[in-house]
Amino acid sequence: MGEAVTGGLTTNQFGAQIGIKPESIRVRLCQRGSYFGIEPKKLPNGRLLWPADAADQLLEQGGVE
């Protein structure tokens, strides 16, 4: 699943960058509406596109607890 996406990261790519299972990211998104303040863009096909700098944003916030 190494598909290239223009302008952002897939949930799998985002999870790999921060060392979290993609399923955990999706659960948090469904429960809270964001993943620790980071909101993805929902594509017409239903997939999520996370900001390219999402991992950096988490580090600036102090990381994931």
Please, which residues have CB within 8 angstroms of residue 64's CB and are 6 or more apart in sequence? 18, 20, 36, 58
State residue 62's pLDDT score: 73
The pLDDT tens digits of the residues spanning 1-58 come to: 455 556 799 999 999 999 999 999 999 999 999 999 999 999 999 999 999 999 898 8
Indicate if the pLDDT at residue 65 is higher than 80: no
Dist CA 5 CA 61 (whole Å): 25
Quick one: pLDDT band at residue 64, thresholds 50, 70, 90?
low
pLDDT at 59: 83
Domain boundaries, the chain: 11-61
